[in-house]
């Protein structure tokens, strides 16, 4: 029996094999389909996909053989990758001087008598292993069958490389999820830590105005008002950030059945509207089943925007609910506001994207509200869109899955 030699690039070849990080199992349908095809196309009963490591050869797929690995020094696949040719074939090992005394040749009814293996060569020209067909009696394959094996071997390499790419993507995704979780935690902690100092600044501004009212001139009072307004604006910004991050996950435990119009009335009460405004609720009140807190926040943001971005003597807001769809509730919030420019309509749902520099109250938007709305709508299994005409108004239409 002739002993195997080691390839000149063995060290780099082993690093290449390791880099693909293939799982050592045989339950992958794609690999198993290839060995099935190899066996069928060549009319050879056994087919293997082998990966040649430092001391062992293990089999990613085994058609017709109950085998997971073998000693590399005895493996025919090792001979194949050490060969100068990329296709290694032995038609009768019992008559080949190199293998006449090989243990696998003298293995009784399980003897390897015929072997044909195509090297699995990656993009860097490293031989990772083989796609081979095996018989326990002398055999042969024709040129067409050889070409078929070569084509299948290339597909095996593509699968191996795809597995590596997918593995990298999974690792990247895990890192991103971990990093986003850390950023979310950091943002939430910072936001909570800032709320108390801001509350103190707002309270201190009111105390200063009250206690030193007689000593303050108009300029001094304006300074204090600016401090308070800036603090209120920052406090609102922090609340929006907290809403955005704290509503990332919606639990099915919070799903309940409730009156839609009653929810709207509660939202309107929370807003404490101080401008001339008419909010028209659906004519027919209906019970719906969804995450109440999430829908409340969606409606709160949309109605708030209708109030803030309006220059008419009377703000008119119309709200419609359609329950006829089998799977979704469809809700529309329309207003007669300033409208949204066409070029901005595709961007308004992105985080930190704003419609105008300031609203009707002189406050600058932070571009978090509509991003939160879209996020919540998506979490509720639906989609949101907007139609708007400058100086005529806007209609936000969104769907949410029934019962989620």
Separation between Cα atoms, residue 52 and residue 72, nearest integer Å: 7
pTM for this model (two decimals): 0.52
Tokens 């709160």 sit on residue: 300
Query: What's phi and psi for 269, nearest 5 deg?
Result: -60, -40
Checking if the pLDDT of 140 tops 90, the result is yes
CB within 8 Å of 391: residues ≥ 6 apart: 338, 339
For residue 398, the SS3 value is strand
Q: What is the pLDDT of residue 158?
A: 95
Map residue 190 onto helix, strand or coil: helix
Query: Distance between CA atoms of 78 and 265, rounded to whole angstroms?
Result: 77
Q: What is the pLDDT of residues 32-65, one digit of tens each?
A: 999 999 999 999 999 999 999 999 999 999 999 9
Q: What are the backbone dihedrals phi and psi of residue 318, each rounded to the nearest 5 degrees, phi first?
A: -110, 130
Tokens of 23: 């799982």
Strand partners for 291: 255
Q: Could you give the percent of the chain with pLDDT greater than 90? A: 51
Determine the pLDDT at residue 352: 63
> Facing residues of 121 across strands?
127
Domains (range + CATH), the chain:
10-170 (3.30.450.40), 247-401 (3.30.565.10)
CA–CA separation, 315 vs 150, rounded Å? Answer: 73
What's residue 350's pLDDT?
Answer: 81
- Asked if the model's pLDDT at residue 341 lies above 80, the reply is yes
pLDDT at 244 over 60: no
């Amino acid at each position: 029996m002739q002993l195997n030699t080691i390839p000149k690039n063995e060290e780099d070849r082993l690093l290449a094999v390791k880099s693909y990080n293939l799982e050592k199992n045989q339950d992958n349908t794609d690999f198993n389909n290839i060995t099935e095809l190899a066996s069928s196309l060549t009319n050879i009963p056994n087919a293997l996909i082998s990966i040649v490591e430092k001391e062992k050869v293990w089999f990613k797929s085994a058609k017709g053989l109950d085998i997971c690995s073998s000693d590399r020094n005895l493996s025919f696949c090792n001979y194949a990758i050490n060969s100068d040719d990329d296709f290694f074939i032995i038609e009768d090992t019992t008559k080949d001087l190199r293998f006449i005394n090989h243990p696998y040749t003298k293995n009784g009814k399980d003897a390897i008598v015929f072997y044909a293996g195509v090297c699995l060569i990656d993009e860097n020209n490293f031989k990772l292993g083989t796609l081979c067909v095996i018989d326990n009696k002398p055999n042969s394959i024709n040129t067409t069958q050889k070409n078929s094996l070569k084509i299948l071997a290339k597909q095996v390499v593509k699968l191996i490389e795809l597995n590596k790419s997918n593995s990298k993507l999974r690792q990247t995704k895990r890192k991103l999820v971990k990093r986003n979780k850390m950023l979310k935690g950091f943002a939430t902690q910072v936001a909570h830590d800032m709320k108390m100092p801001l509350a103190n600044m707002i309270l201190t501004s009111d105390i200063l105005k009250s206690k030193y009212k007689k000593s303050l001139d108009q300029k001094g009072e304006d300074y204090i008002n600016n401090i308070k307004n800036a603090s209120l604006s920052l406090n609102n910004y922090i609340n929006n950030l907290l809403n955005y991050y704290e509503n990332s996950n919606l639990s099915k435990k919070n799903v309940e059945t409730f009156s839609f119009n009653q929810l709207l009335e509660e939202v309107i009460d929370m807003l404490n509207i101080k401008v001339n405004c008419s909010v028209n609720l659906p004519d027919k009140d209906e019970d719906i089943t969804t995450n109440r807190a999430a829908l409340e926040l969606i409606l709160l943001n949309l109605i708030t925007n209708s109030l803030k971005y309006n220059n008419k003597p009377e703000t008119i807001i119309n709200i419609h609910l359609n329950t006829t769809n089998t799977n979704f509730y469809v809700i529309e919030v329309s207003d007669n506001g300033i409208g949204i420019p066409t070029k901005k309509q595709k961007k308004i749902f992105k985080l930190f994207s704003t419609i105008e520099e300031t609203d009707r109250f002189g406050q600058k938007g932070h571009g978090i509200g509509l991003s939160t709305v879209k996020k919540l709508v998506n979490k509720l299994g639906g989609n949101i869109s907007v139609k708007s005409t400058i100086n005529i108004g806007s209609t936000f239409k969104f769907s949410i899955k029934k019962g989620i």
